[in-house]
Structure 1
């Protein structure tokens, strides 16, 4: 039987509610200030689900200030932005967010799908390949995240490079695969340690997605994933595999 302390449950709820408020705030702000790059309309709110207040600050500083509405209001801003591109560290931050948005959406979807339809675990290799459902879930989440990530990259790369559909898909696969893999490595290690070691030792077992503590853990795991994906995104942008955003 799980014995989760009340303080941890309360802390988890606070974190989830705060992130949800940040999500809603960014969505409302983007409605008023549409993004120049349309895919960022999804990226900024989705990353706020794990980044919370920090990501709202980042959005206000680097996202909102580059909205298409402001470009129209001040035509000189477009020229100013092209002459003064964002610092490399900021471009990498946004590029990593682009990767993280797909991961966030995929994990949110797959966790609930597996909870309501547990037979889906067999498509991830349980029990033929993995004895733990957790690892089967990782496989399914990775596949879904990769599909979403490639789609996100496609809609970012094609408008910037004016590529054909085939060229855009190939470029998106090339840009997203390594970035996503690094993100998931950090995230999966964190989740594995929590679900297989920390939670069983401290609370008596793994925690299901119906608990707020599970999603608090996922927020932390996403932040770890961001950290492990950041260096790879720097490399990909530096070498021209990913576009500087």
Structure 2
């Protein structure tokens, strides 16, 4: 069982993330600040789920100016600094990882799946597989339209751009999950039916952002991954 203070903090953090995600969705879908790259309309709110106010700030600073409506109102947006371009690239990868992790974690818990008697090993397999599938899909819908690629070539380029980035993201997250399972909350541990679990997963995703950042900087610099 999580201590009461952690549960309170968890609910506050989760609510903040959801409110920030909703604010981005309203701005893009409701107010018409639709992204010129449609997939980014999903990337920004998904990242807000775990990055909260930081993602909201980044959206208003770097995402909103890329919309057609903002350009019509203000003209060309200012240049995006390299550090922000890399951060947006990590968010693009992080969106697939986040959705994959949420879906896989929930499914594994509800189905009671375990490997070698521990749920965490099943979570590692399920999280990585689904995150990879969604991550490549996110990359495909960014790279293929920009480069005018066919389905096959687009998927290949998406895989090249995403596998290393996604793996680096999961290194940070999986390391944190190991601490959750074996150090902070050993058996019976925390499970996806508690707010504390998902709050700690938010923290793990932030760590994944950190571990994926240098890899994305290299991928963008080498032209393997498109600057978002």
- TM-score, scaled to structure 2: 0.95
Question: Aligned partners of 1:226 and 1:95: how far apart in 2?
Answer: 10
Q: Which runs of 4+ in 1 moved over 6 A?
A: none
Q: CA RMSD in A?
A: 1.4
1:45 is aligned to: 45
2:223 is aligned to: 240
- Residue 150 of structure 1 and its aligned partner are, at CA, apart by 0.3
1:165 is aligned to: 151
2:112 is aligned to: 118
SS at match of 2:192: coil
Question: Aligned partners of 2:47 and 2:156: how far apart in 1?
Answer: 25
Larger Rg: 1
Q: How does 1:23-42 map to 2 (within 5 A)?
A: 23-31=21-29, 32=31, 33-42=33-42
Q: Gapped runs of 5+ residues in structure 2?
A: none
**Alignment partner of 2:100 out of 95, 106, 129:** 106
SS at match of 2:52: helix
**Alignment partner of 2:87 out of 80, 90, 93:** 93
**Alignment partner of 1:184 out of 170, 173, 183:** 170
User: CA-to-partner distance for each residue in 1:17-63, whole Å, 9 max, x for gaps?
Assistant: 11111011111011121111100010000000100011100111000
Paired residue total: 226
User: CA-to-partner distance for each residue in 1:191-228, whole Å, 9 max, x for gaps?
Assistant: 1111111113xxx6410111110011000000000000
Question: Aligned partners of 1:150 and 1:13: how far apart in 2?
Answer: 31
User: CA-to-partner distance for each residue in 1:161-199, whole Å, 9 max, x for gaps?
Assistant: 111111111000000000000000010000111111111
Report if aligned partners of 2:108, 2:122 keep a CA contact under 8 Å in 1: no
Question: Aligned partners of 1:140 and 1:116: how far apart in 2?
Answer: 13
- TM-score, scaled to structure 1: 0.88
**Alignment partner of 2:124 out of 138, 161, 168:** 138
- Residue 73 of structure 1 and its aligned partner are, at CA, apart by 4.4
2:183 is aligned to: 197
Question: Aligned partners of 1:111 and 1:190: how far apart in 2?
Answer: 15
SS at match of 1:86: coil
